Structure 1
Amino acid sequence: MSTQQAEPESQEAPEDPEMKGTQSPQERRLDDKDDGMVDEHAEKEAELQGETVLIKVFRYDPEVEGKQEPRFDDFHVPFEKGMTVLDAVMYARDEYDSSLTFRHSCRQAVCGSDAFFVNGRQRLGCKTQISDLEQPVRIEPLPHQEVVKDLVVDMDHFYDQMHTVEPYFQDEDTPATDDLEEQRQSPENREKIKMSSRCIWCGACMSSCNIAAGDNEYLGPAAINKAYKFAMDDREGEEIKEHRLRILEQEHGVWRCQTQFSCTEVCPKDIPLTEHIQELKREAVKKNLKFW
C-alpha cells in the first residue's frame, strides 16, 4: 500500500465577488471604461490593417528662414497594429523629415514628455492609439503654451507653478538624527491621496484650463493637485498644512477654479483634479472658520 501522502489542497482564498466594492469610485470607473473599449478598439484596428494613415503635423521653426510661419505638413504613415500617435510622428521624422521636433522619452505614459494636442484634445502621444482617432490625425503642440519649435512648448512656467506650492514634505522642527522616528501612514489615508500621486507633470491639464489661458498667475490644476497630495497626508503637521493652504487660497489659487472639469477630462492618468480642487476649497473654508 502506498505511503505517499496526498498533497494538501490549495489554501488560496476564492475570488471575492465583492472585491470590486473595495475599489475607489475612480478605479471602478476606469475599469468599466477599459472593459468597454476593448472590442471597439479591436474592430477599428482590423479596419486599418494594410492601410496608410494621414497625419497633419504642426510645424514652426523661428530660427530657419522660410519656416518661421506656422503651417501643417502632411505625412502618409503605413499603419501597424498597436500604432500610437508617437509611433506615427517618429516614423514621419525618421522616414520623411529629420528636422521634425518633439519631446519623448519612456514611451510608456510615465515620463509625461509627449503631451500633444491631437484632434482637438490634449493627449499623450505614446498612449493614444491611432486606430481610436478620426482620420486624418491632426497633431499640434499644447495650447496656451509658448511654442519653441514644431511640437515642443516651453514648460518653464508650468514647472514654476508646480514649485510654488512647495510640493515636498516639511518638518515644523527638524529633529536630531537620534530622535528621528518612522512616519507611518494609514492604509485609509494612502487610499485617499493615491490618485493625486499619479501625476506625471505632462501639462495636459494646464493646457486645457480656460482659467489658466486667461490668468497667467493661476496656479493651475497640476500644481493644486500636487499640493492636495501633501495637504491631505496625515504625516504632515498642522502648521505646515495651514501654511500650504495659505498659498492655495490666495487670489490666483483654488478660488479661481470655475469647476469646468476640463482638466479632469484630459488627464492621461484619470486623476479627479476638479474634485481635489473643490476639497481644498472646503478645507480653506474650515481653516478660516476657526477664527470666528
Structure 2
Amino acid sequence: MSSQQSGGALQAAVATEKITITKPPLGSPIKRTYTFRVKRYDPERGGYYWREYKIELSNHETVLDGLIKIKWYQDATLSFRYSCRMGICGSCGMIINGTPRLACETKPYDLGTEVITVEPLSNFEPIKDLAADFSEFFRKHRSVRPWLIRKDETEQFEKLESYYPQTEEQLSEYLEFAYCIKCGLCYSACPMVFLNRDYLGPQALAQAYRWSADNRDEGAVLRLKVVDSENGIWSCHYSGTCSKVCPKDVDPALAINLLKNWLLTGRRRR
C-alpha cells in the first residue's frame, strides 16, 4: 500500500472515530431547564404565596428530584414531604399541573411543558409549603376499623397456633383494594370532601370494603354501621376522580358502589 493510500485510510478511520465519539449513546439523557412555580404556605403569616425557581432536569428525573435540587442549591427553606422515592410510601403527594400526583413518579419531561406548577394537596390543612396535615385523614381511616376483627379475640391474639386459611379466589375478592398506600391523592381529588368536611372520603370507605370483604374477618357489621350514614357512602356522587388519580390503580369508586349494593341488597356481591 502506498503512503498516499495509507494516509487516506488513516483519515477515514479518524473521521469514523470522530463520528462514533460525537454520536450520543442510546438512551442518553435529554436535559432541559424548567420553571417550577411553587405554591408555598407560611404558617407564621397564615397565608399562601408563589415562588418561581429555574432548575435543569433530564428526561429521567422527576418533580421530586427537582424539588430536592431546589432545596439543596437554591432555597433551603422550601418544605415538602418524601421518603422512599419509589412510589411505595405515598409521602410525596402534591398537585402537579392541576392534578394530584406522586412527585417521585412524575417526570417534567413527560408533562410536555417547561412550566411545572406545584401546589399542596387540596382538602388538607397546610403545615408548611407543600407539606399537608394528614391528622384528619388518618382519623377517618381509623374510624372504619381497618384491621382484622374476630369475635374470639382470645383465639386471635393468644391461642392461634397457625393462621386463618384463605384461597386464591377469596384473596381476589379484595386484593385490588389492599394496594392502597394512603397517599391522600383520592381524598384531595374528591369534590365531596371539599363540600362536606365530615365526609369519610374515598380512601377510608375503600378500606372499609377491603377489610369487610376479607373472608377471615368477622367485623363487617360494625363497619357497615359506620359507613351507612350521610357522611359515609351516601355522600358519594360517583364523580370517579378518586379512581382516576390513584397511583396504584385502586378503584375507590367501585368499592363505594359495592358497599352501597351490600347495604341495599343485604348481601355482598361483586
TM-score bracket relative to the smaller structure = 0.7 to 0.9
Tell me the matched-pair count.
239
Higher alpha-carbon Rg: 2
Correspondent of 1:265 among 244, 251, 254: 244
For 1:179 and 1:203, the matched residues in 2 are separated by 35
Are the counterparts in 2 of residues 242 and 287 from structure 1 also a CA contact under 8 Å?
A: no
Correspondent of 2:229 among 247, 250, 253: 250
Q: CA RMSD in A?
A: 2.0
> What is residue 131 of structure 2 aligned with on the other side?
152
Q: CA deviation at 1:181?
A: 5.0
> What is residue 179 of structure 2 aligned with on the other side?
198
Is the alpha carbon distance of 1:80 and 1:164 closer, same or farther for their aligned partners in structure 2, counting shifts above 3 Å?
same
> What is residue 32 of structure 1 aligned with on the other side?
none
1:101 aligns with 2:82: no
Q: Secondary structure at the match of 1:113?
A: coil
For 2:221 and 2:31, the matched residues in 1 are separated by 59
Q: CA deviation at 1:179?
A: 6.0
1:122 aligns with 2:100: yes
Q: CA deviation at 1:62?
A: 2.3
* 1:207-249 per-position Cα deviation (integer Å, ceiling 9, x unaligned): 1111111111111100011111111111122xx2112111111
The one-letter code of the counterpart of 2:237 is Q
Are the counterparts in 1 of residues 59 and 108 from structure 2 also a CA contact under 8 Å?
A: no
Are the counterparts in 1 of residues 31 and 59 from structure 2 also a CA contact under 8 Å?
A: no
> What is residue 15 of structure 1 aligned with on the other side?
none
The normalised TM-score by structure 1 is: 0.77
1:183 aligns with 2:164: yes
The one-letter code of the counterpart of 2:197 is N
Query: Which structure is higher in strand share?
Result: 2
| Unaligned segments of structure 1, at least 5 residues | 1-44
Q: CA deviation at 1:175?
A: 3.9
> What is residue 203 of structure 2 aligned with on the other side?
222
Are the counterparts in 2 of residues 165 and 248 from structure 1 also a CA contact under 8 Å?
A: yes
Q: CA deviation at 1:192?
A: 2.3
For 2:240 and 2:169, the matched residues in 1 are separated by 26
> What is residue 92 of structure 1 aligned with on the other side?
70
Is the alpha carbon distance of 1:231 and 1:141 closer, same or farther for their aligned partners in structure 2, counting shifts above 3 Å?
same
Are the counterparts in 2 of residues 56 and 74 from structure 1 also a CA contact under 8 Å?
A: yes
The one-letter code of the counterpart of 1:242 is V
The normalised TM-score by structure 2 is: 0.83
> What is residue 172 of structure 1 aligned with on the other side?
151
Q: Comparing 166-175 with 114-123, which one deviates more in the overlay? A: 166-175
Are the counterparts in 1 of residues 202 and 252 from structure 2 also a CA contact under 8 Å?
A: yes
Q: Secondary structure at the match of 1:79?
A: strand
For 1:280 and 1:55, the matched residues in 2 are separated by 41
Q: Secondary structure at the match of 2:122?
A: coil
The one-letter code of the counterpart of 1:287 is G
Q: CA deviation at 1:161?
A: 0.4
Q: Comparing 118-127 with 144-153, which one deviates more in the overlay? A: 144-153
Are the counterparts in 1 of residues 90 and 183 from structure 2 also a CA contact under 8 Å?
A: yes
Q: CA deviation at 1:58?
A: 1.1
Q: CA deviation at 1:112?
A: 0.7
Are the counterparts in 2 of residues 144 and 213 from structure 1 also a CA contact under 8 Å?
A: yes
> What is residue 283 of structure 1 aligned with on the other side?
262
For 1:97 and 1:255, the matched residues in 2 are separated by 45
* 1:238-267 per-position Cα deviation (integer Å, ceiling 9, x unaligned): xx2112111111221111110100100111
> What is residue 17 of structure 2 aligned with on the other side?
none
1:135 aligns with 2:124: no
The one-letter code of the counterpart of 2:99 is R
Are the counterparts in 1 of residues 59 and 107 from structure 2 also a CA contact under 8 Å?
A: no
